[in-house]
Amino acid sequence: MKTDKILIILPAYNEEESIGRIIDDIKKQLPSIDILVVNDGSLDSTSKVAKDKGVFVIDLLYNLGIGAAMQTGYKFAKEEDYDIAIQCDADGQHPAYQIKNLLNPLLENRADIVIGSRFLRKLGYRSSIPRQIGIILFSNLLSFITKTKVTDVTCGFRALNRRAINSFSIYYPCDYPEVEALLLAHQEGLKITEVPVRIYGRKLGNSSIGFLSSFYYTIKVFLAVFIDLFETIPYKKEKL
């Protein structure tokens, strides 16, 4: 199984302070893995820091948003023929030594998408109350729709196999993509599994979801999920 080509995708927007440390961390833990930083139109030196570390860097001309940045990574993974892609926040919330845990279900062919869940076991993760409510709400909604137990739908720490990479490279939701992406994956017939992970609280930078946008987030994701239930599934459209 060591021959699998694995890519870690780190979408980064103004993360010059943390990106270097994360890259070092991943390299130390998993030296054989390729790292791709998708610089989503950062205004600081994120791109330079990453390039100096000798990893792949895709510079997007302007800020496309997290979903489109992620999708860029998947498109690259597909074109370069990777077996597994791992998505990871570039703010250091997702410790590199946990990546191996994510890989196991894929290597054993038990799933197409593996989500790192902060809640599957009590592993010391605390977040704000409104956010926890949102996570529980959407997790239950998605568990109900997909008939699979999902506890942490908003977590951006995931591993995908070839099938999932292919699906996401063709269509990936634009903003606040995590929940909707899972639903679309389910409609596409991909199998989703969770493994417990421990996650650090944010030390640097701001979360992509601020306090005021929580409301917008909730409404937008609800609408997206609702519409997707009636969807003419986007993957089905022919694309070369």
Partner 1 sequence: MLKIQIIAGIISLSFLVIIFEAIRRRKFMEKYALLWIFSGLIIFIFSLFPNLLFKIGSILGLHHLTVLLTISFIFLLSIVFYLSISISGLSEKNKELTQEIGILKLKLNKLENKSKGGQEKTN
Residues that bind partner 1 (CB under 8 A): 38, 56-62, 64, 68, 71-72, 75-76, 79, 174
CB of 165 to partner 1, least distance (A): 14
Closest to partner 1 by CB, 60 vs 155, is 60
Cα–Cα nearest to 95, from 153, 157, 5: 157
Closest to partner 1 by CB, 63 vs 213, is 63
Closest to partner 1 by CB, 78 vs 162, is 78
Provide the terminal-to-terminal Cα distance of the chain, rounded to the nearest Å.
30
Which residue do the tokens 């929940």 mark? 179
CB of 153 to partner 1, least distance (A): 24
CB of 38 to partner 1, least distance (A): 7
**According to DSSP H, which parts of 80-177 are helical?**
99-107, 129-146, 162-170
CB of 158 to partner 1, least distance (A): 19
Closest to partner 1 by CB, 75 vs 202, is 75
Cα–Cα nearest to 10, from 50, 63, 44: 50
